[in-house]
Structure 1
Amino acid sequence: MRILLIDPPFKRFTGFANFYFPIGLSYVGAILEKAGHHVAILDVDAIKQTTGLDFSDEYNKLELYKQGINNDTHPVWQEIEKILSEWCPDLVGITAMTPKIGSVIKTAQLVKKVNPNCPVVVGGPHATLQPELTMKCSAIDVVVKGEAENVIAKLVAALQSKNDLSTIQGISYRLSNRVIHNQPAELLADLDQVPFPGRHLLMNPENYSSENMGVIMTSRGCPYNCSYCCHLWGRKVHNRSINNIINEIKLVIEKFGTTQFEFKDDSFTADRQRIMNLCDTLMNENIKINWGCSTRVNLLDEQLARKMKLAGCNVIKLGIETGSQRILDKTDKGITFAQVRQTAKLLNRLGIFWSGYFMFGLPTETEEDMQKTYRFMKEINPYYAGLGVYNPFPKTKLFDEAVALGLLYPEVELDHFFKTNPKDYFFKDPDKRVLNMSKEKFEEISKMMSRQFHRHNTKLINLLRRGWARRLVYKRSPAVFYADIKKVLQWV
């Protein structure tokens, strides 16, 4: 079969920079190619480059996304329709995340407009967590829930031969105007058996830098239970072997000349000894790369951080969330401010570029809680400080609490995602995000914090720290240096 896998547009509307390649679709593409199908991956945001890095006006830019999904004449939809008409897929797969579910629906409808008989399969986080809602879109024929690698080849074979779908675990599908939800599929027992992501299947490969191709997942799952987060893979962590990871790194270096990698695990250092072994292997095999990762303040110590730096780690991303003890308790994150301070001092002393990520606007948050977050950011002084308004996601503890408080709808209809700014999804009244604050006060504090975080990030010392962390990348790939200079000039 000719199979087109699509990551629908989102950043094309907002102008925000598009980083990396769609790794989930690339895993699916590799599985399908191995099964003998002709596969291509369309990352719509990569058709034309966007470079915006300033998130201080994120809400208004997301309004452009809302306008775009309601504008049938927008150029992006014409591009997709043209590709569908020329490529003539026998089946289309679409990845769905909640912030861009409207774009997913629009893309599915375009597929049916071009070819009403082409099956549309949707997977990803939103489809997994809300299969009933996703299947309300009549243009979607099948939803894949959870890991697709165990499911997709069997599903495509059944669709190709028009066989019964009732025995395929991990899917929801339409039968005689009814939606059938099959039993969940088991998680993959051995990640080493999964082919490496099919980066070679990407359309418009010239629009990806060598760094874009450097995304690698060395594990799946997270052992923690934060109240704002939902785990597709559960709380058990499944690891790839060190040898399997190293082989993928070598392949990406060989094919794309990548020198800056990004390990996208939820909590990269959850298994300390495993990461020590990975670092030892990188050094023993003289693999000279730089890499970044995301982890937690309670999962780093000096010996580990030093070894990571020696093995090429030049960026560490940490979720701090808040400066308020009351709000920290609400997140169920399981960290302390003492651990945050200790880790911040450690990374500052070792000179490893690190980012701290914060959020505000939780259901019971107060003005004082938000002010504490700003003051705490200034105290620990991350080299980069990310700030975002809390986004409620179904199937999380905080979402259920907000429903109980009367702030959120427990369920919505599909048109909600076309009428509403992504930051306001599920809110009964977007002007009432928190219980104890007026819209005017919330907007005032929001603008103040966004300005101050942006000012912190664009200080000369922090820009120089970012550049210094990437000096070896610049030496090996001067084009990356010039691209970064261009981004910084737009950012500041």
Structure 2
Amino acid sequence: MRVTFVQPYYENIWECIGLGYIISYCKKNYKGDLEINFFQGNFDSDADIISGSQDSDIVAFSCTSPCFPPAVRLAAAIKAVNPKVRIVVGGWHVTALQDKSVNECIDQIVVGEGEKAMLEILQGNTDRIVRGQALPLNEIPWPDREAIKNHRTIDLCEQMNGQRTTGFQANRVCPTSCVFCAEKIMTGKFNRRTNPIRSRPVEDVCAEISTVVEKYGLTYFKFVDATFDISPQYVIDFCREKIKKGIDTEWECLIHASFCTEEMFHWLKESNCNQINVGCESGSPKILKQIHKGTKVETIENVFRWAKKYHINRRGFFILGMPEEDRNDLRLTEELIDRIEPDVVGFTILCPYPGSNLYDHEKYGNQDWEQTDEYANDFWRNKAFSNEELKEWQAYFIDKYSDKLCERLEGEGLRAVEG
């Protein structure tokens, strides 16, 4: 059987670890001949993807919402040259809008995690909607980095910032329920029930890291987990294992402020953690409560204080335009940033993606998702601000903190602002 996996073009796509897991699981469990092909729109042209799929039995796409329109176009073009091919689409967008995603170009969609569902499709499941299963992570082999051509993103990172970098996953399911985030529908509630948080043994995570560092000559790595610090003890155990195995490579992770302890930061530093990334979102207690962030302003301040104490770079993410946010709330955000002094800061205009609690299909069902990204969009507004006014606030924040942080960090070799 010939199967082609495709990640459509999207400007901010980094690498395809999820497809790497699906491919490795299928290779391990499919009984029969299996020929795998892989394309990524950031590196491969549409013409190459279409021609490379013309002899495939199945072409499987992975899609976020901005990737869905180009996936549909590619699916139609592939069907035109290969009418017998089965087109399968999985990912956040179709999981959120499963009843609205199947069309004449798409034969099947995968809802939720894709490993078991994709294997069932290879084994003959022809259901229009194939539901995934939250497998124990020890049943899923390491992602097939050769198949997803991981060397291309590693080489690109080296060209862009001088670091040979890739990503790793330690756990699935974020324990929080932020109203703006669609994470839970992919790993937590795609089968109409809440799936448990699943973590890999730290020994297995470090074994994979050690192998990939040696194979690809990594000088840096990141965790792609939505929340790496699902518990402080897990982070500490990982750091200790990393030290024990002699893995000196610098790294970074995304953490939730409410799950942190000062002891955790001690071990982050000991294990050569270079940067923490924190979804602060707002400096307004009112907004943090309304978006179900599960944290407090004082907690965010503690995290940035601890990281500074242990000389770990601090990156803060902030979202502008929460439903009840007004000018006073944005000023509170500004005051928080001034107090915590992040080394790197990013400002996003809220986007109610399918699968988030803020998504309303009647309002946004006809939205051109291809024209949105994680930084800005042309349609969101709240009670206090128009879309244009939110863009003005975003520009204000970027300008203010670009000047301030670049000046403060001059000579330290740190990238100061991402907007």
TM-score normalised by the chain length of structure 1: 0.75
> 1:22-41 maps to which residues of 2 (within 5 A)?
22-34=16-28, 35=30, 36-41=33-38
Residue 466 (str. 1) matches residue 414 (str. 2): yes
CA contact (8 A) 1:4 1:92 kept: yes
Q: Distance in 2 between matches of 1:462 and 1:385?
A: 16
1:217 and 2:214 are equivalent in the alignment: no
State the shift of 1:410 in Å.
4.8
Amino acid at match of 1:29: I
**Does the alignment pair 1:391 with 2:351?**
yes
> Are positions 1:248 and 2:208 aligned together?
yes
CA distance in 1, matches of 2:380, 2:231: 41
CA RMSD after TM alignment: 2.8
Alignment of 1:139-288 (within 5 A): 139-158=105-124, 165=126, 173=128, 181=129, 184-188=131-135, 190-203=136-149, 205-206=151-152, 208-209=154-155, 214-230=166-182, 231=184, 232-234=186-188, 236-288=196-248
Partner residue in 1 for 2:46: 77
Equivalent position amino acid for 2:79 in 1: K
Q: 1:204 to 1:308 in 2, by over 3 A?
A: closer
Cα distance, 1:165 vs structure 2:
3.4
Distance in 1 separating the partners of 2:388 and 2:90: 38
| TM-score normalized with structure 2 length | 0.87
Segments of structure 1 that go 5 or more residues without pairing to the other structure are: 48-75, 159-163, 167-172, 174-180, 468-487
Report the Cα offset of residue 141 of structure 1.
0.6
Contact 1:46 1:208 in 2 (8 A): no
Superposed, 1:40-59 pairs within 5 Å as: 40-47=37-44
Which of 312, 323, 326 does residue 272 from structure 2 map onto? Answer: 312
Which consecutive residues of structure 2, in runs of 5 or more, have no partner in the other structure? 189-193
Matched with 1:476 is: none
- Quick one: structure 1 residues 326 and 206, their matched pair in 2 at CA, closer, same or farther if it must change by over 3 Å? closer
Partner of 2:371: 421
SS in 2 for 1:308: helix
The one-letter code of the counterpart of 2:180 is Y
- The 8 Å contact of residues 218 and 245 in structure 1, kept in 2 or not, is answered as yes
Aligned 8 A contact 1:383 1:462 in 2: no
2:138 alignment partner AA: D
For residues 460 and 3 of structure 1, do their structure 2 counterparts lie closer, same or farther at Cα, with a shift above 3 Å needed?
A: farther
- Percent identical residues: 22
State the distance in 2 between where 1:127 and 1:456 align: 42
Contact kept, 8 Å, 1:32 with 1:39, in 2: the verdict is no
Greater mean alpha carbon deviation, residues 117-126 or residues 244-253: 244-253
1:200 alignment partner, SS class: coil
Q: Please, which of 118, 132, 138 is the counterpart of residue 85 of structure 2?
A: 118
Q: Which amino acid aligns with 2:216?
A: F
| Separation in 2, partners of 1:463, 1:352 | 17
Deviation by residue 1:202-238 (Cα, 9 ceiling, x = unmatched): 3484453376663110110111111112312226310
Residues 156 and 340 of structure 1, relative CA distance in 2, 3 Å threshold: same
* Superposition deviation, residue 336 in structure 1: 0.8
**Distance in 2 (alpha carbons) for counterparts of 1:96 and 1:351:** 38
